[in-house]
């Protein structure tokens, strides 16, 4: 990535915008000086009013041909129900061939709104975590070995071979909010995807500790870990934030909704139990570049190596231009 130590990325929200618009925004993010983008990988949006759910891998493939420098990947793919590990390995090997050295794979245990409606199935957390750990191991084997066989238990393979393997290392970052998923990310991933809470809120510190314990487990000799942080960011005032938060109103009650497969029901639940102002309270909201720089530096000091901005407002170009002109140059300096 760039010469500055902290990498700053931009999130292309497949839930909220059509793929054609996201391609243009990805190109503009690269021109503005962002280091990376990630694309959300959903079959359904979180809330019905978000209105979109294009295929992340198609967007990424097109973006490889319209950019030259920026790194890109998913935030995040579930490689266990809707997609099987061999399909994910195949797709991201091909993406790596289109943009060598610029692709990463973000994975997680999934949400019901993506896995159940698409026919993939669903299971309790312990099963989802076990499936993810097996899937990550299989993806790595398929990228690095010929004629892979495995007895499972979840994904048996017999003589599976990717003829076009990734031409450059492709990291696998594992997402997790709670300590169990953070521990899994530490021991099985090449880094951790999380929100700003575990780094900035003392009551969430247990997740960071669990990740670091997994990363530095017995026998591990690993460098300092990549920690990718999703930072919800509004460039504007409280009114702008409240307008944006209508599309992400479920956030304060998200843990209650991981097993709900219907985005209409998620939106109804959010509107009944939260307010846009409550959701906006979980975001960085300011028109002042100094506030945004301060938050990025605070995350860096807490251990973040990559911060990805998630801008829920409709005017995405305002955010990209603001960071390109007033925030990223100050960080580089």
Banded pLDDT at 219 (limits 50, 70, 90): confident
Residue 240 lies in a domain: yes
- The model's pLDDT over 102-114, given as tens digits with 9 standing for 90+, comes to 999 999 999 999 9
DSSP tag of 148: E
b/e sequence 112-148, b meaning 16+ C-beta within 10 Å: bbbbbeeebebbeeeebbbbbbbbbebbbbbbeeeeb
- The model's pLDDT over 240-263, given as tens digits with 9 standing for 90+, comes to 999 999 999 999 999 899 999 999
243 Cα distance to chain centroid: 23
Banded pLDDT at 5 (limits 50, 70, 90): confident
Residue 169 lies in a domain: yes
Residue ranges making up the domain that contains 12: 7-332
Residue 89 lies in a domain: yes
Supply the DSSP string of 94-139, one letter for each residue.
HHHHHSTT-EEEEE----HHHHTTTT-----HHHHHHHHHHHHHHH
Instruction: Give mean pLDDT, residues 50-68.
Output: 98
- The model's pLDDT over 268-313, given as tens digits with 9 standing for 90+, comes to 999 999 999 999 999 999 999 999 999 999 999 999 999 999 999 9
pTM, rounded to two decimals: 0.96
Active site residues: 42, 111
Torsion angle defined by CA atoms of residues 284, 28, 12 and 133, in that order, rounded to the nearest 10 degrees: -100
H-type alpha helices, 163-204: 179-188, 197-200
Q: What is the rounded distance in angstroms from the CA atom of residue 72 to the CA atom of residue 39?
A: 8
Paired tokens of 296: 């990025």
Instruction: Give mean pLDDT, residues 68-72.
Output: 98
Residue 1 lies in a domain: no
Q: What is the rounded distance in angstroms from the CA atom of residue 125 to the CA atom of residue 112?
A: 11
Place of tokens 């195949």: 90
Cis peptide before 255 (omega within 30 of 0): no
Residue 263 lies in a domain: yes
Instruction: Give mean pLDDT, residues 23-42.
Output: 98
In DSSP terms, which residues pair with 104 in a beta bridge? 73
**Length of the chain measured in residues:** 333
Closest CA to 3 of 256, 328, 325: 328
Which of the residue ranges 2-11, 46-55, 84-93, 294-303 would you say has the lowest mean pLDDT?
A: 2-11
As for how many domains the chain has, the answer is: 1
pLDDT confidence of residue 2: 39
Residue 63 lies in a domain: yes
CATH of the domain at 120: 3.20.20.30
Residue 2 lies in a domain: no
pLDDT at 185 over 80: yes
Residue 307 lies in a domain: yes
Q: Are 78 and 40 in contact (CB under 8 A)?
A: no
């Amino acid at each position: 990535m760039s010469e500055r130590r902290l990498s700053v990325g931009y999130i292309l929200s497949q839930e909220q915008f059509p793929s054609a618009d996201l391609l243009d925004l990805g190109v503009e993010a690269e021109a503005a000086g962002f280091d990376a983008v990630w694309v959300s990988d959903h079959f359904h949006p979180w809330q019905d009013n978000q209105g979109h759910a294009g295929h992340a891998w198609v967007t990424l493939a097109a973006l490889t041909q319209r950019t030259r420098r920026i790194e890109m990947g998913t935030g995040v793919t579930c490689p266990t129900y809707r997609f099987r590990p061999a399909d994910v390995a195949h797709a991201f090997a091909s993406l790596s061939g289109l943009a060598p050295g610029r692709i990463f794979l973000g994975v997680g245990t999934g949400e019901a709104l993506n896995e159940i409606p698409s026919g993939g199935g669903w299971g309790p957390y312990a099963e989802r975590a076990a499936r993810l750990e097996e899937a990550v191991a299989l993806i790595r084997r398929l990228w690095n070995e010929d004629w892979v066989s495995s007895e499972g238990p979840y994904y048996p393979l017999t003589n599976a071979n990717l003829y076009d393997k990734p031409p450059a290392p492709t990291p696998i970052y594992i997402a997790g909010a709670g300590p169990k998923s953070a521990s899994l990310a530490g021991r099985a991933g090449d880094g951790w995807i999380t929100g700003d809470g575990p780094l900035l809120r003392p009551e969430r510190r247990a997740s960071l500790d669990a990740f670091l314990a997994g990363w530095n487990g017995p026998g591990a000799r690993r460098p300092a870990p990549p920690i990718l942080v999703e930072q919800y960011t509004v460039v504007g005032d409280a009114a702008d934030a409240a307008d944006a938060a209508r599309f992400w109103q479920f956030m304060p009650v998200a843990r209650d909704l991981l097993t709900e497969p219907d985005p209409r029901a998620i939106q109804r639940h959010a509107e009944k139990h939260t307010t846009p102002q409550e959701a906006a309270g979980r975001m960085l909201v300011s028109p002042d570049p100094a506030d945004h720089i301060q938050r990025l530096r605070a995350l860096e000091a807490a251990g973040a190596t990559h911060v990805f901005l998630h801008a829920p407002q409709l005017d995405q170009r305002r955010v990209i231009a603001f960071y390109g002109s007033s925030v990223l140059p100050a960080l580089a300096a």
